[in-house]
Structure 1
Amino acid sequence: MICGFDYGTSNCALGLSQGADVRLIPLEGQHTFLPSTLYALDRDLITEFVGKNIAVGDTRQAFVSSRQNVLARAQRARREEDIDDNDQTLFFGRAAFEEYFQWPEDGYFVKSPKSFLGATGLRAEHINFFEDLVAAMMQNIKQRAENQLGVEVTHTVIGRPVNFQGIDSETSNRQALDILTAAGKRAGFKEIEFLYEPIAAGLDFETKLTEDKTVLVVDIGGGTTDCAMVRMGPDYVGKEDRYADFLGHTGERVGGNDLDIRIAGKHLMPLFGMDALLKNGLPMPTQMYWNAITTNDVSAIATFNGMETKRQIDQLRLDAAEPKLVDRFLRMRAEKHNYHIVRNAEEAKIALSDTLNHKVLMDYIEAGLSQDISRDGLAKSIEPPLEKMLKLMMDAIEQAGEQPDLIYMTGGSAKSPVIRDAIQKRIGDVPVLDGDHFGSVAAGLTVWAERIFR
């Protein structure tokens, strides 16, 4: 069976064709999208999970041979933690969040591993680990789909951003695609192709057009923003070669996660001492606070978790005019609540799409701890990443050499009225239409998969 697979930074979705229509498969209850999260009782158990779920054959043997040391550590972890062979060791999606919120100190939690793909300076063991993370998530999603369908899914088109990182893009893109390909093969896909995510979103939208248009497709994902200027409509929809119809495309590593981090930094981290003063009247250093919440940067999180940061915070507590705020920061770090804080920021962003004010409750840190955020306050805090997104849109229009007839928005953050207002002010009086913010990419990937594999 053929599918379109949106392995997203924030959420994953899988689509199948049913006649002329596309059906997104429920992956978690009735939800057709699964948050891109994983919680493991021990980090090495991720690799063990992958090995156990690879079909018996040369692929499994090669994998086991390449991961012998990690698999030995996984067995040791099982003995030390008294984990039975029948115990569940990995949790995905909303269940991963639940386990992390309940046991933040005990296991290994990761959100949005796609954000790390293509990062520079990764050693071989890092690349192996990211292959295993992605493979475990793909295996889980593929198994969920197959359990519902009762048939094997063998061919897929996977979405990709224009650029995974934006630094040394050709090299980083190749590395990221190699990781996704290796993971997809270990998940059991026999044939894998890739398609730009904004183009996929546009293909889904094109099937609904009744006349030809030049469309600016804007896909604001969790990790990247991708834009494409595309001629589309009834005269184009059946064409096999669409190269000449894509007039311009841009993409950069700035997305919904960056908005969440800015919201967390500007509105929530002051509760932990950010922007407070030292006894000598100087401001508190802020880099350690940004490191805590920059959850899409491996080096920032590693620095925050390092002993040097612990020593720095201990010293700043002695120097702080309000040491109780630094005590709160120390407790947050010790109990590994930084991902929870960024999740709070994401929830605030979502809530402020429908309301003008939102109260963030942080009882997991301290009883009664909360913070109010307004839509105007959110707009001010996200100005730097939003400006980058707007520039990507304008660059795509400039490449095309013409104005769009309409703008088609997809991706979770595209729902924000703050972002939509900013687009209208920058681009002008061009109609802005919405797609399925979580499913349009998967649907377009499915349309393309049917076209190339049939």
Structure 2
Amino acid sequence: MMIGFDYGTSNCAVGVMEHGQPKIVNLPAHGTLMPSTLYSPDRDIIVSWLYAQLTPSEQQAFKTLRIIPLQKGQKALRELALDGLSSELSFGQQALANYLEEPEEGYYIKSPKSFLGASGLKQPQIDLFEDIVAAMMSHVKQQVESSLGREVNQTVIGRPINFQGLKGEESNQQAIAILTNAAKRVGFSSIEFQYEPVAAGFEYEASLSTDKRVLVVDIGGGTTDCSMILMGPAYIHSNDRSKQLLAHSGERIGGNDFDIQLAFRGLMPNLGATSQLKSGKPMPTNSYWQAVAINNINEQTAFYSAANGRHLDMLQRDAEHPELVSRLIKLYREKLSYQLVNSAENAKISLSTEPSNTVDLSYIEHALMQTLSIEGFQQACEKELQAIGRLMQDCVKQAGCQPDVVFVTGGTAKSTVISQYIEQQFPGVELVIGDHFGSVTAGLTRWAERIFK
């Protein structure tokens, strides 16, 4: 059976075709969307959990590839058993709940897709990300098969124009290899990829009665991708859409970046980011940025290093308001980076429908609160908004024509600040807001039926 699989930075979703229309599959443990998160009681047991999900023939091949990690995993499993702790992995909202229960324990990762194109990864790191992705895909596949009562072995997986990474096509190839290896490992025999903005456009195309030039703007959790595509009745049945894809552009700007900026500019002042040293000089902000840069392996590694712990102690001694820096030290000691950025993300979501939102920071200090406004959010994310504007204009310039329609999709585009900014860039052009979370999945599902059927 064939599926469209949106393995997204923020959420995972799967679609199947029923009666000629795409239908988003209900995942029994999650609903139609599973947040792209994983929690493990110990990082070393991820490989062992994945091994247990594989078929006997795949287990044998996997054991050869991961002999040392599997040995470490078995040791970690024995230690968890001796301590009477669970060895089960959790995904989606349950993963977040387990992390928030004890942030300093276990291993939590949000948006692993953000790291797949990262530069400088050594083979053990690539193997770890491959196993994380495979574990998530295995769980989703099991959920889909449980929901449908059928085996799933063919899939079209969405991909951004450019994955997050500094090495261009080399980063893209690395990410695609990780996704392909992971999908094959968990039982997908036929795997194809489709650009996410193109897939989102397919779903919109199904509603068109005339041909149009459509600028698809897909603002996801990790990237923003733009494609100028010829769409309509004259093209919809084609199996090769390369001639209708007039231009595309993409960059590492997405919902995570908006969350991080809001956390840095809106919440970090409570931890001393805008305070001063006793000397009268401004507080150095490098550690504050590293603390919230949850989509950057190097920044997070640097922040949680022992050397940075000593640096934070020094900052507290030199600070005019040491009580503020003590809050940053608590974040460091209890590994609260994800929780702080999650607070900013929840505020961003609320600001889509409300003019202000009060953030509860009591996990940092009792009764600590911060009110954020929609104006503050706009100011915090001005750089990201301008970058999205440049991407759209670059796509138009490449295509050599103006769009008849701007079709916007992706969960991040749900923000009125973002949708209004896009509308301002194309005055007089029809703006269509798609299904924020379902357009890509539906388009991937339509493409899966077209190519596999």
TM-score category by the smaller chain? Answer: over 0.9
Q: 2:297 aligned with 1:298, yes or no?
A: yes
Q: Partners of 2:82 and 2:270 in 1: how far apart?
A: 38
Aligned counterpart, 1:109: 108
Aligned residues: 453
TM-score, normalised via structure 2 length: 0.98
Q: Partners of 2:32 and 2:279 in 1: how far apart?
A: 54
Aligned counterpart, 1:78: 77
Aligned counterpart, 1:178: 177
Q: Partners of 2:126 and 2:313 in 1: how far apart?
A: 34
Aligned counterpart, 1:325: 324
SS of residue paired to 2:437: coil
Q: Deviations over 1:351-400 (max 9, x none)?
A: 11101111111122222111001101100000111111111111111111
Q: CA RMSD in A?
A: 1.4
SS of residue paired to 2:406: strand
Q: Deviations over 1:252-287 (max 9, x none)?
A: 111110111000000001111101100010011101
Q: Deviations over 1:134-186 (max 9, x none)?
A: 00000000000101111100000000001103522111111100000000011
Q: Partners of 2:10 and 2:229 in 1: how far apart?
A: 25
Mean CA deviation greater in 68-77 or 91-100:
68-77
Aligned counterpart, 1:274: 273
Q: Partners of 2:250 and 2:48 in 1: how far apart?
A: 35
Q: Structure 1: give runs of 5+ residues left out of the alignment.
A: none
The answer to whether the 8 Å contact 1:33/1:439 transfers is: no
Aligned counterpart, 2:54: 54
Aligned counterpart, 1:135: 134
Aligned counterpart, 2:286: 287
How high is the sequence identity, in percent, across the aligned residues?
48
Q: Partners of 2:389 and 2:7 in 1: how far apart?
A: 24
The answer to whether the 8 Å contact 1:229/1:404 transfers is: yes
The answer to whether the 8 Å contact 1:166/1:252 transfers is: no
User: Equivalences for 1:25-424 in 2 at 5 Å?
Assistant: 25-29=25-29, 31-57=31-57, 59-82=58-81, 87-165=86-164, 167-424=166-423
Report the alpha carbon displacement of residue 87 of structure 1 after superposing the two structures with TM. 4.1
The answer to whether the 8 Å contact 2:215/2:405 transfers is: yes
Report the alpha carbon displacement of residue 79 of structure 1 after superposing the two structures with TM. 2.0
Q: Partners of 1:49 and 1:165 in 2: how far apart?
A: 27
Q: Deviations over 1:191-212 (max 9, x none)?
A: 1000000000001111111221
Aligned counterpart, 1:2: 2
Report the alpha carbon displacement of residue 84 of structure 1 after superposing the two structures with TM. 9.0
TM-score, normalised via structure 1 length: 0.98
The answer to whether the 8 Å contact 1:230/1:248 transfers is: yes
The answer to whether the 8 Å contact 1:3/1:14 transfers is: yes
Q: Deviations over 1:48-92 (max 9, x none)?
A: 1111111111x3212112211111111211222326999452010
Report the alpha carbon displacement of residue 429 of structure 1 after superposing the two structures with TM. 2.1
The answer to whether the 8 Å contact 1:201/1:441 transfers is: yes
SS of residue paired to 1:120: coil
Report the alpha carbon displacement of residue 233 of structure 1 after superposing the two structures with TM. 1.1
Q: Partners of 2:15 and 2:83 in 1: how far apart?
A: 35
Task: Supply the AA of the counterpart residue of 1:230.
Answer: I
The answer to whether the 8 Å contact 2:30/2:92 transfers is: no
Task: Supply the AA of the counterpart residue of 2:449.
Answer: E
